Chains A and B, each alone.
Chain A
Amino acid sequence: DVKVTQSSRYLVKRTGEKVFLECVQDMDHENMFWYRQDPGLGLRLIYFSYDVKMKEKGDIPEGYSVSREKKERFSLILESASTNQTSMYLCASRRTTGVEAFFGQGTRLTVV
């Protein structure tokens, strides 16, 4: 089975901290994605990556950056966490020509 693993299920950070959310997939997928999910707003795309060292902004990139140094790992970075970044973060991966995207279980981040 394809696995997309997010490093933490729950995370609590303080305002101003630098936060790293890690995502690892084990199926050699080229494409990886970071979404955030908020009540009433649904899933919104933050950043995506087509391949190693490649990254593209999604719909809401402000306040975030990403890193993809290895094909299997896609990291989301909050340079200076703010309370409005409290959310559920979901990582996904997919082959470029693949039908199905596979999602991780999500990281619920609370910024206090």
Chain B
Amino acid sequence: DAKTTQPPSMDCAEGRAANLPCNHSTISGNEYVYWYRQIHSQGPQYIIHGLKNNETNEMASLIITEDRKSSTLILPHATLRDTAVYYCIVRVPYGGSQGNLIFGKGTKLSVKP
């Protein structure tokens, strides 16, 4: 089973920041937080990951709380092309069954004009 809890859906106005929350209260010390997204009719795509520090790349920012029990993915200026299902996943950063990606239901983000 997925170790994360996300709201089933969210809306965001185009050009505004989209903040997607994720709860992972049972995360272990060696598990990272990963975010993927799946645009309609495509395979999932990696966005970002982190352990305990905030991370930023060209796609998004990841804010992880100090106790690591929750995190927020931030899309700073959402566009219509960001409409997708966003998955928050916790896993260890190596192989073996513990390192598998186990997907929950995700959050369906709808960016509206």
- Selected from B41, B46, B94, B105, the residue in CB contact (under 8 A) with A101 is B46
Asked whether A90 lies within 8 Å of B102 as measured between CB atoms, the reply is no
- Selected from B43, B46, B97, B103, the residue in CB contact (under 8 A) with A56 is B97
* B-contact 0/1 string along A31-43, CB 8 Å cutoff: 1010100000011
How far in angstroms is the closest Cβ of chain B from A58? 7
Q: Which residues of B contact A48 (CB under 8 A)?
A: 97, 100
User: When chains A and B are docked, how far (Å) is the Cα of A21 from the Cα of B86?
Assistant: 26
> Which residue of chain B has its CB nearest to the CB of A97?
B94
- Selected from A45, A90, A106, the residue in CB contact (under 8 A) with B100 is A45
* B-contact 0/1 string along A42-62, CB 8 Å cutoff: 111100101000001011000
Taking CB atoms and an 8 Å cut-off, the chain B residues in 41-92 that contact chain A are: 41-46, 49
Asked whether B46 lies within 8 Å of A42 as measured between CB atoms, the reply is no
Total B residues in contact with A, Cβ cutoff 8 Å: 22
- Selected from B43, B96, B105, B106, the residue in CB contact (under 8 A) with A106 is B43
> Which residue of chain A has its CB nearest to the CB of B43?
A103
How far in angstroms is the closest Cβ of chain A from B38? 8
Main secondary structure of the interface of B (DSSP, over half): loop
B7 contacts partner chain A, Cβ-Cβ < 8 Å: no
How far in angstroms is the closest Cβ of chain B from A112? 21
Contact A105/B42 with A96-B94, A96-B95 known, Cβ cut-off 8 Å: yes
User: When chains A and B are docked, how far (Å) is the Cα of A48 from the Cα of B36?
Assistant: 19
B101 contacts partner chain A, Cβ-Cβ < 8 Å: yes
Q: Which residues of B contact A35 (CB under 8 A)?
A: 103
Q: Which residues of B contact A92 (CB under 8 A)?
A: 43-44, 101
Residue among B43, B45, B93 facing the most chain A CB atoms (10 A cut-off): B43
Taking CB atoms and an 8 Å cut-off, the chain A residues in 69-112 that contact chain B are: 90, 92, 96-97, 99-106
Nearest 5 pairs between A and B by C-beta?
A103-B43, A96-B95, A43-B103, A100-B46, A103-B44
